[in-house]
Structure 1
Amino acid sequence: MSTVKTVQIKTRYWDIAADLHVPPGFDENNTYPAILSAHPIGSCKEQTAGNVYGKALAESGFVVIAFDRSTQGQSGGEPRYTEDPAMAVEDFSRVIDHLVTLPYVDADRIGALGICGGGGYAIKAAMIERRIKAVASVTGVNFGRLCREGFSGFDPIGQLQAMARQRTAEARGAALQVDPFLPPSMAAATQAGITDIDVLGATDYYTRRCPHDNAGTRALFSRRAAAVAWDAFHLAETLLTTPLIVVVGDKPGGFGAYRDGLEIYARAASKVKELVVVEGATHYDLYDQPGPVGQALARLVPFFKNNL
């Protein structure tokens, strides 16, 4: 079995909380390839990034570091629940800065994996952070595209104007507006008439299958403007040359991972790239359901072993 060590990563601004998953028979005198595991939007390091993919990859021989993004989970940073893509991508470099100081990590064999919005962040990080030698996206979402579309009611300008008004109000002393991403329960989702499989899957995962006190499942409204103008895939044709694997389910929902996965696979300049479409799987099946996760790992493990 793999084991987990909790670490605090010092930065210029605040500490980043992370769980370090190490392989069975771990020996600090040996060197290992390492993988950063980035959690979904609204999630935390203890959920799918850590207890599913982090654990499985560690058991396959990798040192895996699952971390809470800045302002989220147990990491520092204010204001809380800020979903700023530039800061999220910078966190990858901050975590790598820590990894390269560990004597048992091979600094030339560092990869990154992200789930949902973490997948989009991992892809963008791989474009600019050349210490990442291989990148994996599991049901990855381009959060900027989602903010311009479904999360804004397909009215990004109106949403930006509302964010501007709210930020002005908060600067003048108004209470922070922190919006939930999900209904509080499956019963509430049913009562609200929600039918989208992604929203229902998220509600089931976060409220029933894997609830955790550190999970955010909410965002500070006034600080989401940066996400509306951001694009995880911008310049992928030029800058995304890192070996890439994209895993998606073939049952698309409102968050758009299937669409985003096929788009980045087509656009990436990577000479080594793989597309894995898991039949019958939804977005949230790939978080923790044994069958779909097993199929994903059956491709992820050899991908990282071949490219790190």
Structure 2
Amino acid sequence: MITTKDISFKARDLNDIELQGRLFFPENFDESQKHPAIVVNHPTTSDFNQTSGRIYATKLAKQGWLAIAYDSPYQGRSAGEPHNSEIPYARTIGVMAAIDYLDTLPYVDSDRIGAMGICGGGGFTLNAAKFDKRIKAVAGVCPADVGTIYRETFGQNDKTLIENLEDMAKQRTAEAQGAEVKYIPALPASQEARKEAGINDIDIEQAIDYYLTPRGHDDYAPNRYVYSVIPMMLNFDPLSLADKLATQPLEIIVGGVPGAFGSYRFGYQYYDAAATNDKELVVLPGVSHYDLYDQPEPTDKAVAKLNDFFGKRL
């Protein structure tokens, strides 16, 4: 039976704001020995009580791995204001801060640390691995390029994108002058609202079913994010310099059913761009993006691939 331990640690590149997380120990863990460890990064607007901790860190621990899942800066139980901000730099720093913490543990082998992420957390983790070479092997499960997703959402054309950026700039000015922080919903509030908005994409439909129902809902992951920080997302590109810097062994696992969150296409794009020759792209036929969040058969297949991948490289 696995055991867990709630932890906190500092993100020293973000003025030492405190992050909350959880260690997942395999059965009969021996603290007198050095062990490899895997960092598990949650999706956007999420927390570690959802898929990263509940599914992936738990299942990896059952496979014998020491895993760490945590709430990213500005999200979940972790510190950072305005809360529920989705900031690429901070999300990337979160991965590095988790490794900093692992480096302090006497039972972790600092030369055998891997990292993985789900959805947007996958994109941020792949981004971190480009320049943090403490990550010896990296994986993405339905990894998403949230920069492209946000640009497509807020900029159906260049004119619209600039208009939205100008409005976000005005909101940031207002907040600097004392206005309340503006939040916008990450998803339509219900399936009925989705239909009324004319949205028929499978990823949006299943996201609502995951995040806004007991299936995946968590109070620390409200359906909202800060409007004035969206420009940082619009400028984010995890593919940048991947052809030069993405040198670690790479595993990408996606579902074969494409949708709005783009993990199917991004998986191919990042696989093609990555500099490493030690890489694999696994496509699970008939599996959707959100099937890889919590559905037993797809997640078991994903974890089996992760176990094999990390096992051979850590």
Please confirm whether the aligned pair reaches a TM-score higher than 0.5, indicating the same fold: yes
Structure 1 position 132 matched with structure 2 position 132: no
1:164 matched residue in structure 2: 169
Look up the match of 1:39. 42
Mapped contact 2:82–2:181 kept (Cα < 8 A): no
Match of 1:20 in 2: 23
Say whether 1:206 aligns with 2:202: no
Look up the equivalent residue of 1:38 and give its one-letter code: N
CA distance in 2: counterparts of 1:152 and 1:48, whole angstroms: 29
Deviation at 1:184, TM superposition (A): 2.1
Deviation string 1:219-265 (CA, Å, 9 cap, x unpaired) is 10101211111101100000000100011111111111111000000
CA distance in 2, matches of 1:236, 1:193: 36
Q: Does 1:225 align with 2:231?
A: yes
1:189 positional shift: 2.8
The letter of the residue matching 2:146 is F
Partner Cα separation in structure 1 for residue 199 and residue 99 of structure 2:
40
Which of 74, 79, 92 matches 1:76? Answer: 79
- Equivalent residue of 1:112, what SS? strand
Is the counterpart of residue 234 in structure 1 residue 240 in structure 2? yes
The structure 2 residue matched to 1:90, chosen from 84, 90, 93, is 93
CA positional deviation for 1:151: 4.2
- After superposition, give the CA deviation of every residue in 1:259-278 in whole Å (9 maximum; x if it has no partner): 10000001101121010001
Deviations 1:15-52 (A, max 9, x none): 11011111111121122110110000011011100110
Q: Could you tell me which of 248, 252, 255 is aligned with 2:254?
A: 248
Paired residue for 2:183, among 173, 178, 186?
A: 178
Deviations 1:78-117 (A, max 9, x none): 1111111011111111111110110111100000010000
Task: After TM superposition, list the pairs within 5 Å mapping 1:185-204 onto structure 2.
Answer: 185-204=190-209
In 2, the alpha carbon distance for the partners of 1:216 and 1:234 equals 30
Q: Which runs of 4+ in 1 moved over 4 A?
A: none
**Please, which moves more after superposition, 248-257 or 190-199?**
190-199
CA distance in 2, matches of 1:239, 1:211: 36
- Of residues 228-237 and 168-177 in structure 1, the stretch that sits farther from structure 2 once superposed is 168-177
SS in 2 for 1:73: coil
Q: CA deviation at 1:187?
A: 3.7
Computed over aligned residues only, the root mean square deviation of the Cα atoms, in angstroms, reads 1.3
Alpha-carbon contact 2:41-2:118 (below 8 Å) kept: yes
Identify which range, 227-236 or 144-153, moves more after superposition. 144-153
22-31 or 149-158: which moved more? Answer: 149-158
Unaligned runs of 5+ in 2: none
Q: Could you state the TM-score of these two structures normalised by the residue count of structure 2?
A: 0.95
Q: Which residue of 1 aligns with 2:289?
A: 283
2:264 to 241, 255, 258: 258
> Which ranges in structure 1 are unaligned for 5 or more consecutive residues?
none
Do the aligned residues in 2 keep the contact of 1:41 with 1:217 (CA within 8 Å)? no
Report the AA paired with residue 113 of structure 2: I
SS of residue in 1 equivalent to 2:253: strand
Q: Helix, strand or coil: the match of 2:218?
A: coil
Deviation at 1:191, TM superposition (A): 4.2
Among 55, 58, 61, the residue aligned to 2:61: 58
Query: Please, which moves more after superposition, 269-278 or 151-160?
Result: 151-160
Which of 114-123 and 174-183 deviates more?
174-183
For 1:150 and 1:252, how far apart are their aligned partners in 2? Answer: 17
